[in-house]
Amino acid sequence: MFNIKDNLKAIFDSIAEEEIKSNRKLGSVVLCAVSKTKPYEMISEVVSGQQRVFNIGENYVQEIEKKFKDIKRDYTLRMIGHLQCNKVNKVVPLVDTIDSVDSLKLLDKINECSIKNGKVTRILIELNTAFDGEKTGFMSEDEALQAIEDIEQKKGVCLSGFMTMGELGGSEVQLRRSFGKLREFAEKVKIEHPDLNPDVLSMGMSSDWRYAVREGSTMVRIGSAIFGARTQ
């Protein structure tokens, strides 16, 4: 029988097991629940199960407005996926973090909108470590480094860390190579920009999160294993 709280507990337990196997500190990996298309009642049930980080997708701006605009939250709401510049004005006031900044143009727009709203928006830089033209994200490290240099000059955004997606259907070797590239890039940034503290590595989804944890992920994004299959 489908039970959201049981599913959530199973995921928490599995993450703890993988942390131990990977010689990671317990609690070093945050679970981000991907709640695209799911009703607020289901999200409330997961919140009551002690989940405190949620992810809303790129095509669901109206969903965010409908479900979260007038709700006082005691959890973090993050946006993932390619965010179009014309949607930034609606998204920035509603979310705590934008996890998929993939262009300088988008970065500028988020910064501008954040200043207008009197807030500092935490962001993740998305790096396309699989070099897959069908995926979003900065295609080169040089472009991503330029974005980071720009962030240091901006007042409306704060670099929280980085994210990537593994190859769809990739082997363990391919996936771990992609995830390892992001970890290495993050380590490089910390050396070159010691005043920043980008401590989030968001990588790993339902099918590959264990490999991501082994490569240093600090945040895994899991949806269907908690809420069931998406309805749209």
Q: What is the per-residue pLDDT across 162-214, written as a single tens digit (0 to 9) for each?
A: 999 988 888 999 999 999 999 999 999 999 999 888 999 999 998 899 999 99
pLDDT given for residue 58 in this prediction = 46
- Three-state SS for 15? helix
- Residue 218 pLDDT exceeds 70: yes
The residue among 158 and 65 whose pLDDT is bigger is 158
- For the whole model, what pTM was predicted? 0.89
pLDDT tops 80 at residue 74 = no
Residue 135 phi, psi (nearest 5): -100, 155
Residues sharing a CB contact under 8 Å with residue 12, sequence separation 6 or more, in sequence order: 31
HSE of 101 in the Cβ direction (CA atoms, 13 Å)?
31
User: Is the distance from CB of 5 to CB of 28 less than 8 angstroms?
Assistant: no
- Taking the C-alpha atoms of residue 175 and residue 204, their distance in angstroms, rounded to an integer, is 9
Phi-psi region of 27 (alpha: psi -120 to 50; beta: other; left: phi over 0): left
C-alpha 83 chain-centroid distance: 13
* More confidently predicted of 51 and 123: 123
Q: What is the DSSP letter of 161?
A: E
More confident residue, 168 or 25: 25
Question: Can you tell me the mean pLDDT for 47-60?
Answer: 66
Residue 15 CB coordination number (10 Å): 23
What are the pLDDT digits (tens) for 83-139?
Answer: 889 999 988 988 899 999 999 999 999 999 999 999 999 999 999 998 777 778 999
Q: Using DSSP, state whether 206 is helix, strand or coil.
A: coil
